[in-house]
Structure 1
Amino acid sequence: MAKNKFHTGPGPSQRQLRVGELVRRRLSDVLAHGDIHDPDLNRMSITVAEVRTSPDLKVATAYVLPLGGDHAQEALEALIRNRSELRRVVAKGLALKYAPQLRFVLDDTFDRMDETRRLFSQEAVKRDIADDQEDDDAL
């Protein structure tokens, strides 16, 4: 099978998914309760959309976005600045052999959804979809 830019190999294991979700919940709780000693970070409401872990579970990449999407870069900088404290506090609440190194990435899922909606609202696309549905109905 030929590889392309969308196919990077097998998906995450059940273990990676389970640990990612545990880290996501714990990180969300820590951020919601203001357990970090940084007033800039504590005044922000940050959503943790997803956490993906490396196969060895030693790196956890958190996809985050501040509520409303405002001040996203500022929120990312605050998270990166406090990553060691976040790692310690998150790991304290989990029963893992290793505390995963935390990486933070801005979540662009909502931007991609908006772009998809914009594309589907174009007249040419609507016409093509209608033509395809008529072809399917004829079969």
Structure 2
Amino acid sequence: MKKQPKPAGPSQRMLRVGELIRHALAALFARGDIEDEALRGMVLTVPEVRMTPDLKIANAYVMPLGGEHAEAAVAALNRHRKYIRGRIAPQVELKFAPEIRFLVDETFGEAGRIDALLRSERVRRDLDTDPDDSDEG
């Protein structure tokens, strides 16, 4: 019987290319090269870029500083993605520049949700119980 391959995480090449694209996007956003009313005065962060295994698609997760108008920012970036691809292609030095898809980064919201759960009364009550008071023994 053949062994099924384990689902592996991203390869070193995927991680390296994703990081190159992330830096190129951050530099492009810092220069303010994209002319769009929805992005005017907005500071964008790019916490992560995930590449597909064939390196043809880059999923760029972005979030405006402060988290406001994230959907509008992502929509504006996706409208300009061909322009953005052309601007970062020379910087990443790949045979083919990947298609870039912009998505809202949900990790900040998820971290806030976990923090709120950890601060909840229910969790605090569980943490405050004395382990010596347990019925086990």
Q: TM-score of the superposition, structure 2-length normalised?
A: 0.84
- Code of the residue aligned with 1:134 in structure 2: it is P
Contact 1:31 1:42 in 2 (8 A): no
Q: Which runs of 5+ in 1 are unaligned?
A: 1-7
1:12-54 superposed Cα distances (whole Å, 9 cap, x missing partner): 0000000000000001101110223445435321111100000
Q: Partners of 2:30 and 2:101 in 1: how far apart?
A: 18
Percent of residue pairs bearing the same amino acid type: 48
Contact 2:17 2:92 in 1 (8 A): no
- Code of the residue aligned with 1:99 in structure 2: it is A
Which residues of 2 match residues 12-91 of structure 1 at below 5 A? 12-38=10-36, 40-91=38-89
Aligned partner (choices 108, 111, 135) of residue 109 of structure 2: 111
Q: Does 1:134 align with 2:127?
A: no
Quick one: structure 1 residues 126 and 112, their matched pair in 2 at CA, closer, same or farther if it must change by over 3 Å? same
Q: Partners of 1:37 and 1:69 in 2: how far apart?
A: 20
Q: Partners of 1:42 and 1:55 in 2: how far apart?
A: 34
Q: CA RMSD in A?
A: 1.9
- Tell me the residue number matched to 2:3: none
Quick one: structure 1 residues 130 and 12, their matched pair in 2 at CA, closer, same or farther if it must change by over 3 Å? farther
Q: Which runs of 5+ in 2 are unaligned?
A: 1-5, 133-137
- Shift of residue 65, structure 1, vs aligned partner: 0.5
How many residues are aligned here? 127
Q: TM-score of the superposition, structure 1-length normalised?
A: 0.83
Which shows bigger deviation, 97-106 or 40-49?
A: 40-49
